[in-house]
């Protein structure tokens, strides 16, 4: 009987830790998300390659995309891209620990609060791709998806 109580206790503690992995509740998230969006550099939202016409034809163009990882949400400064053009995602962790994964590719980068990671991907075919969190991050984990389009 004592072993059973001890096992139940440890299971409850584990469940609580899993459910609180990202840390904050949904009640406080809306104000913080608004603050983060206001802090983004909106002048770069549709930034294209800024290389000049004097650059060699061997240089590849690159799109820089600002990504903010919040509890149960990705915020991207741009979601439409062209086939064959490299895209560099600058992923900034604001809350919790998340896995930036593009479904159907080998992209999977872990980012924690306070970290910034860069990932470059060159889409090779048109279509819609899904960015999802590859680390179980709490109660809203399944909602942490973002669709991007490649034309």
Domains of the chain (ranges; CATH) run: 61-151 (2.60.40.420)
pTM assigned to the model = 0.59
Ranges under pLDDT 70 in the chain:
7-62
SS (H, E, C) the chain: CHHHHHHHHHHHHHHHHHHCCCCCCHHHHHHHHHHHHHHCCHHHCCCCCCCCCCCCCCCCCCEEEEEEEECCEEEECCCEECCCCCEEEEEEECCCEEEEEECCCCCEEEEECCCEEEEEECCCCCEEEEEEECCCCCCCHHHCEEEEEEC
Residue 86, pLDDT score: 95
Output the pLDDT for position 109. Answer: 95
> What is the pLDDT at residue 106?
92
Residue 72: the pLDDT is 83
């Amino acid at each position: 009987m004592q072993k059973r109580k001890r096992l139940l206790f440890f299971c409850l503690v584990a469940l609580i830790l899993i459910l609180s992995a990202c840390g904050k509740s949904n009640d406080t998230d809306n104000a913080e998300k608004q603050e983060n969006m206001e802090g983004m550099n909106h002048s770069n939202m549709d930034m294209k390659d800024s290389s000049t016409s004097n650059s060699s034809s061997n240089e590849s163009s690159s799109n820089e995309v600002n990504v903010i990882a919040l509890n149960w949400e990705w915020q991207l400064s741009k979601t439409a891209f062209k086939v064959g053009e490299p895209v560099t995602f600058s992923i900034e962790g604001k809350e919790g620990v998340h896995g930036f994964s593009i479904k159907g590719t080998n992209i999977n980068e872990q980012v924690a609060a306070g970290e910034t990671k860069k990932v470059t991907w060159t889409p090779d075919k048109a279509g819609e791709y899904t960015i999802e969190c590859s680390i179980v991050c709490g109660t809203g984990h399944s909602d942490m998806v973002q669709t991007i389009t490649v034309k």
